[in-house]
């Protein structure tokens, strides 16, 4: 079973084995040493983080153990994806254009800080999070800690790589088509997209595909963070899903196993460990043909229309040329086309509701393929942005953005090339707890991944 | 850290086995004087080890381990602090924490 980094930190700080300052200093030193090669961070808190660490040590001295009841994440170094606003660190959103949003903490960041977490830095994303990589004009792409020639995935790729490399205990990411779960799977960490609206997304996205969620080393850490992040906020009118929170279902759960087209032999073979783990936890697993049509074309129209709406023509010289291919398509999308895409979304939601009458949880490989080259936006067949296939290689993630269902990716093993494979578990809207509980059971059955080979990152 | 007795510092081979477990490598691939960070041990891994040692009743500090991350230096550090049991550490607590 994977150990909780948050519990480790809390245990050591409570026990007097370290000061918060020592922990943060060491973490900053690790970032300084490793990140020039890894490319996970776009900014680092430095002195500000150390001042917060000193204040945290002061609280521990004054209040002793009582401080953790109010601040359960006291002294825990976390990173925040650079798409999410912070009051102190700059927010570039993967773009070299000026960000005119006010420098205040997004609600999710404010909640982490109120729980005592220390924001150690902002992590890399693609421009406005458009692609499932971290290629942008802000800095170099994030490398996969398991193989620096491969992509960490994205768009929360910096977040996943930072957790994998131990440069923070946890990270805040966003997921509009798979952007938490894809890098979590590629890098071998846990990434959770809660039900739509459970964690406030501010400012909200009109496409209503985007979610905020945590990435961490263990399911327990992700569950603890989700509890802290969740809850309505006035600035996100969609936030506030709380239904079914306490429904408890015990084994055997009915689990539908889906295999999406294009699944590689390596990924399929690694997933056998997931079948074994689910069965060992006492669940009934039934293979299911993917019971819905691929909604990719509708997703493309929705995302492209949103990209076009957010990209005035005069900004184009400063934009990522690959993203502009999507923007150009978006400018051709009519209102009629958007409504057709919304109809596809409604049909998909209804189809999945019917499916969830038969199954408590759906399980599948998070991504059917291994990580591709670090400089590419997808595998070879999806590399050309003008083909509009930039997310088509991840058919198991984006349907659940369209339905708003809770979905987690946990590491299940590694391919013969040593690359992590993620298992995705998906529940009904509002049943986040069931997804987390099932993920925890699977995690308990699996051997944790070892530390990634540091030598590979030394260049 | 199962072969550790409460209040007694773990031997260098017990530390080696614990590091090897985290790194997913064989114990003999972790030499006494190798820089463990260069072998792939990150701060959170060191923190986990410091926790385990403290639960076994040895008052080790994270900073002490992070300053010179080699098995040989850790063994010296543990020997130095072995005479100062952690406040509140008891045999029961140490036994309950073995993994």
Tokens of A142: 């994030």
Could you check whether the bond before residue A155 is cis, i.e. omega within 30 degrees of 0? yes
Tracing tokens 């260049």 back to the chain, one arrives at A459
Shortest CA distance to A366 belongs to which of A410, A417, A404? A410
Cα angle, residue A44 at apex, residues A21 and A311 outer, rounded to 5°: 150
Active-site choice (A19, A79, A131, A155): A155
d(CA A409, CA A424): 4
Q: Do B62 and A3 touch (CB under 8 A)?
A: no
Q: What are phi and psi of A377, to 5 degrees?
A: -95, 5
Shortest CA distance to A94 belongs to which of A174, A15, A197? A174
- The yes-or-no answer on residue A81 being catalytic is yes
d(CA A193, CA A213): 5
ipTM over 0.90: no
Mutate to test the interface with A, among B44, B65, B97 (most CBs of A within 10 A): B44
Residue B77: enclosing H or E segment and its boundaries? Answer: helix B71-81
Tell me what percent of the residues of chain A surpass a pLDDT of 70: 97
Strand spans (E) along A210-333 = 211-216, 254-258, 284-288
B96 at A interface, C-beta within 8 A:
no
> For residue range A130-173, what is the model confidence (pLDDT) as tens digits?
999 999 999 999 999 999 999 999 999 999 999 999 999 999 99
Tell me what percent of the residues of chain A surpass a pLDDT of 90: 93
Contact status, residue A160 vs residue A210, Cβ threshold 8 Å: no
Q: Do B48 and A17 touch (CB under 8 A)?
A: no
Cα angle, residue A419 at apex, residues A26 and A257 outer, rounded to 5°: 115
pLDDT given at position A1: 41
Shortest CA distance to A174 belongs to which of A106, A115, A227, A220? A106
pLDDT given at position B96: 35
Cα angle, residue B87 at apex, residues B84 and B10 outer, rounded to 5°: 50
Tokens of A302: 């929705």
DSSP at B30: S
Shortest CA distance to A109 belongs to which of A45, A188, A34, A33? A45
d(CA A340, CA A334): 10
d(CA A430, CA B27): 45
Tokens of B16: 């080696």
- Residue B97's pLDDT band (boundaries 50, 70, 90)? very low
Given a cut of 80, whether residue A246 has pLDDT beyond it is no
pTM, whole model, 2 decimals? Answer: 0.94
pLDDT given at position A128: 97
How far is residue A82 from each of residues A85, A157, A415, A425, measured CA to CA in Å? 7, 11, 30, 26
Given a cut of 70, whether residue B56 has pLDDT beyond it is yes
> Residue A240, Cα to own-chain centre: how many angstroms?
20
Contact status, residue A153 vs residue A187, Cβ threshold 8 Å: yes
Nearest-Cα distance to chain B for A30, in Å, is: 8
d(CA B43, CA B45): 5
d(CA A129, CA A174): 8
- The average pLDDT across B33-62 equals 90
Lowest average pLDDT, out of A298-307, A313-322, B32-41, goes to B32-41
Of B44, B54, B63, the CB nearest to A169: B44
> B12 or A141: which carries more pLDDT confidence?
A141
Of B22, B50, B66, the CB nearest to A451: B22
- The yes-or-no answer on residue A151 being catalytic is no
- The yes-or-no answer on residue A155 being catalytic is yes
pLDDT given at position B84: 61
What is the widest separation between alpha-carbon atoms in chain B? 36
Q: CB neighbours of A301 closer than 8 A, spacing ≥ 6? A: A333, A337, A338, A340, A341
> B94 or A313: which carries more pLDDT confidence?
A313
Given a cut of 50, whether residue A438 has pLDDT beyond it is yes
């Amino acid at each position: 079973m994977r150990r909780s980094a948050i519990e480790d930190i809390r245990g050591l700080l409570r026990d007097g084995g370290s000061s918060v300052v020592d922990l943060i200093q060491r973490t900053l030193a690790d970032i300084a040493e490793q990140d020039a090669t890894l490319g996970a961070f776009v900014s680092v808190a430095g002195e500000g983080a150390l001042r917060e660490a000193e204040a945290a040590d002061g609280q521990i001295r004054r209040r002793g153990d009582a401080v953790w009841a109010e601040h359960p994440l006291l002294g825990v170094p976390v990173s925040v994806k650079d798409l999410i606003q912070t009051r102190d660190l700059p927010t570039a959103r993967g773009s070299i254009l000026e960000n005119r949003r006010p420098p205040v903490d997004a609600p999710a960041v404010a909640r982490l800080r109120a729980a005592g977490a220390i924001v150690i830095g902002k992590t890399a994303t693609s421009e406005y999070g458009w692609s499932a990589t971290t290629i942008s004009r802000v800095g170099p792409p994030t490398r996969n800690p398991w193989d620096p020639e491969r992509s960490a995935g994205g768009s929360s790729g910096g977040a996943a790589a930072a957790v994998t490399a131990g440069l923070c205990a946890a990270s805040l990411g966003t997921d509009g088509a798979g952007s938490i779960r894809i890098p979590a799977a590629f890098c071998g960490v846990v990434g959770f997209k809660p039900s739509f609206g459970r964690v406030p997304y501010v400012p909200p996205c009109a496409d209503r595909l985007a979610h905020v969620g945590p990435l961490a080393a263990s399911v327990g850490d992700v569950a603890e963070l989700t509890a802290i992040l969740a809850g309505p906020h006035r600035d996100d009118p969609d936030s506030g899903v709380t239904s079914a929170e306490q429904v408890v279902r015990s084994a055997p759960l009915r689990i539908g196993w889906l295999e999406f087209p294009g699944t590689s032999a390596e990924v399929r073979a690694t997933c056998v460990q997931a079948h074994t783990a689910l069965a060992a936890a006492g669940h009934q697993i039934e293979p299911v043909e993917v019971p819905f049509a691929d909604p990719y074309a509708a997703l493309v129209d929705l995302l492209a229309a949103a990209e076009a709406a957010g990209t005035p023509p005069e900004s184009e010289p400063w934009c990522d040329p690959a993203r502009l291919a999507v923007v150009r398509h978006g400018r051709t999308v009519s209102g009629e086309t958007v409504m057709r895409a919304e109809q596809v979304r409604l049909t998909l939601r209804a189809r999945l509701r019917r499916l969830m009458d038969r199954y408590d949880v759906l399980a599948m490989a998070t991504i059917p393929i291994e990580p591709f080259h670090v400089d590419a936006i997808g595998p070879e067949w999806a590399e050309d942005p003008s083909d509009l296939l930039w997310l088509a290689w991840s058919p198991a993630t984006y349907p659940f953005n369209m339905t708003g269902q809770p979905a987690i990716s946990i590491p299940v093993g590694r391919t013969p090339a040593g690359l992590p494979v993620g298992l995705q578990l998906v529940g009904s809207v509002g049943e986040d707890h069931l997804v987390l509980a099932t993920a925890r059971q699977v995690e308990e059955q699996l051997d944790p991944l070892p530390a990634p080979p540091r030598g590979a990152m030394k260049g | 850290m199962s072969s550790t007795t409460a209040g007694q510092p773990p031997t260098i081979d017990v530390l080696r086995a614990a590091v090897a477990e985290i790194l997913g490598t064989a114990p003999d691939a972790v030499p006494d004087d190798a820089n463990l960070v260069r072998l792939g041990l990150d701060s959170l891994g060191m923190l986990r080890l410091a926790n385990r040692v403290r639960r076994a009743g040895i008052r080790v500090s994270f900073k002490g381990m992070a300053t010179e991350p080699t098995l040989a230096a850790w063994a010296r550090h543990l020997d130095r602090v072995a005479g100062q049991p952690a406040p509140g550490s008891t045999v029961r607590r140490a036994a309950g924490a073995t993994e």
